[in-house]
Amino acid sequence: MLDIKFVRENKEAVKENIKKKFQDEKLPLVEEVIKIDEEKRTFQVEGDNLRQERNETSSEIGALMREGKKEEAEGKKARVVEINKRLEEIEAKETELSASLKEKMMMIPQMVDDSVPIGKDDSENVEIEKFGEPVVPDFEIPYHADIIMKLNGLDKESAGRTSGNGFYYLMGDVARLSTAMINYARDYMIEQGFIYCIPPFMIRSDVVNGVMSFAEMDAMMYKIEGEDLFLIGTSEHSMIGKFKGQIMNQAELPITMTSYSPCFRKEVGAHGIEERGIYRVHQFEKQEMIVICDPKDSMDWYNKMWQYTVDIFRNLDIPVRTLECCTGDLADLKVKSCDVEAWSPRQQKYFEVGSCSTLGDAQARRLGIRIKGENGNYFAHTLNNTVLASTRALIAFLENNVNEDGSVNIPKALQPYMGGLKVIIPKQK
């Protein structure tokens, strides 16, 4: 959410930013919020003047009573009654206008960084760099579900009976492998100095509204019926929410945390939710990282964070690349974002396995996360990045480490988490 003062003083820049994001339908919001803000400030001035008059009149009443001028004092009292009545009307109007202003301001997208390429959607994202050589072996790589089935590692039929489409059972060595990857990612981030945390898996609506846009919430979040609670779609939401309403000293920053959680997503409008694989599902596990820092440090942290994900995948013998997300592919709260994509030797192309974003002060402004500075308080910057998401990382791992006979090699980084196992042998021919 932008500062209304910034919108007033940079109206055309805010409109241009909306155009860059190809959201022209939101252009009228700029004039609307300026008009509402002007009306609100007019009431504020009137209210301040009336409060001053009330204070002065109250003092006069006391003096008049001491002088025995009761009739004149009663007239002043009547004026105080009038002022109080008008103040009630003004305060009600201010409350109404504040709510309307906040609602509309939350729909205006955050100002994107000047370095973000302009484009309509993810098809216009720009490749930044490749890490590792994308190899296509001289044998056909099976579909990931078939690789897992040969290892007796997947049961979607039973999950369909218990939970419906978009759910799955991971079994045996494959389940162990999935957990091993998450645990390795956790330990890697701890080695980088991040504090490990297991957060709440449900959050209240005020936190949801603080960390994401309305459109994202509708498409992603499962609501708990009859309660003001939502299942998290990613642990960054509860991690950032942990600091709601907090004022931190500069000396405490940066706050760097890595968190484990299951993630629950509706995947509204998603195609392939009934597929036999695990690429797009309603539930998965994830290791996440978040940073809360001083604004001057946010871009440095952004570049460190995506590099951590790249390093983890390379340590798992998975080639990856990074893509700069264009303006039309940025969620409304994001200032800059890049995707990490893993190489799929079966499809002979890359696919998304993680995303790193800096949100500037958007979440901090919504949630009231501030820094206590020498010259007053100011809003922190927040960042998040996928360390490793279980299902997509598992797909990338299996495709890049499977052998022609269906066995799967375990790289050195994961062997301690697999009890020293170096290869998973197929259970089926």
- pLDDT tens for 332-385 read 999 999 999 999 999 999 999 999 999 999 999 999 999 998 889 999 999 999
Write down the pLDDT at residue 65.
84
What's the mean pLDDT in 96-105? 95
**ω into residue 117 within 30 of 0, thus cis?**
no
Are 341 and 320 in contact by the 8 Å Cβ rule? The answer is yes
Cα separation, 71 vs 78, in Å, equals 11
| Strand partners of residue 341 | 321, 352
Q: 273 falls in which pLDDT band (50, 70, 90)?
A: low
Cα separation, 292 vs 375, in Å, equals 20
Cα separation, 292 vs 273, in Å, equals 34
What's the mean pLDDT in 187-209? 97
pTM recorded for the entire structure: 0.90
Domains of the chain, earliest start first: 4-105 (1.10.287.40), 122-424 (3.30.930.10)
What's the mean pLDDT in 282-311? 97
What is the rounded end-to-end Cα distance, in angstroms, of the chain? 56
Tokens of residue 80, six digits: 């105080």
What's the mean pLDDT in 42-59? 94
Output the average pLDDT for the chain. Answer: 94
Write down the pLDDT at residue 405.
95
Residues 119-143: tens digit of each pLDDT: 999 999 999 999 999 999 999 999 9
Are 245 and 362 in contact by the 8 Å Cβ rule? The answer is no
The three-class DSSP label of residue 379 is strand
Write down the pLDDT at residue 215.
75
From start to end of 265-298, where are the E strands? Answer: 283-293
Q: Report the DSSP pairing between strands 370-373 and 247-249.
A: parallel
Other C-beta atoms closer than 10 Å to the C-beta of 420 total 8
Q: 293 falls in which pLDDT band (50, 70, 90)?
A: very high
Quote the DSSP letter at residue 333.
T
Write down the pLDDT at residue 62.
83
Residues 51-68: tens digit of each pLDDT: 999 999 988 988 888 888
Other C-beta atoms closer than 10 Å to the C-beta of 357 total 24
